[in-house]
Structure 1
Amino acid sequence: MLRLVTRENHTHNIFPGTSILIYFKVIFPELEMSQVKTMIDAKIGGKKVVVFSKTYCPYCTKAKKVLRNHYGKDLNEADVEIIEIENNPDCDAIQDYLKTLTGGRSVPRVFINGKCIGGGDETQALEQSGKLSGLLQ
């Protein structure tokens, strides 16, 4: 048996054979698309840099590494929010809304000062061209 404790300190027992994904969807129901939109817009507007990412994605790792190289120069860690979405029950809705915003559903989606600059390759290309520092000002 697996025990899950939520942020609200509620304890839930998950028995062998129970799908954890289904269980999470019961405990943490998906947000309505309007709520997803509101959440994403607030995140993008609330930080200098926002990255929608998945932990296992090599392109996401690439973008995050490039951005980390700017910590202490053009960026403070407090200026950046990395949002790992693969375990979020709203992952599909988040990616659907990102497609509406940016034309792309894939991750990473990197936003600087509210504008999407693209993904891992685009972030690295801006770094190599010397233009990334200017965008981070």
Structure 2
Amino acid sequence: MEPDYSSYSIEELNDALVNIDKAAYPQRAKKIELEFAKRSEVNSAAKEQSAVKSETKFGAGSQLFLALLSVFFLYNGVTDLLEGETYSRGNNYYNPTDNPIMFYGHILLYIGLSIVMVVMIYLGRRKNAKRT
């Protein structure tokens, strides 16, 4: 009686392939190898299908959200620069005369985040255009 290798798990198939006497049972060894090949094809097809499903479009809602965040960060950076003072946690205020590194660091952070979000919107729109 021949074993049904289609009901074996991957571990059981591997164990059977390692422990089979290939000289005495060449047909069984071939069937085990074919079962491995069949399962790898099924797994690769499933991975490709899940990869296609996971690639969602960069929708209008995401673009709007990033645009609003970009405007918020840009507004904070510009107003802090014009006012000459920026706020940090713990009621700390930084200005260019007392602590220029923290002041300009906050300004660069705000404006840098704004630029990064605009670039993300641009790249997302470009990626959407390539898909259609």
TM-score when normalising by structure 2: 0.25
Higher helix share: 2
Higher strand share: 1
Structure number with larger C-alpha Rg: 2
Greater RCO structure (CA 8 Å; 6+ sep): 1
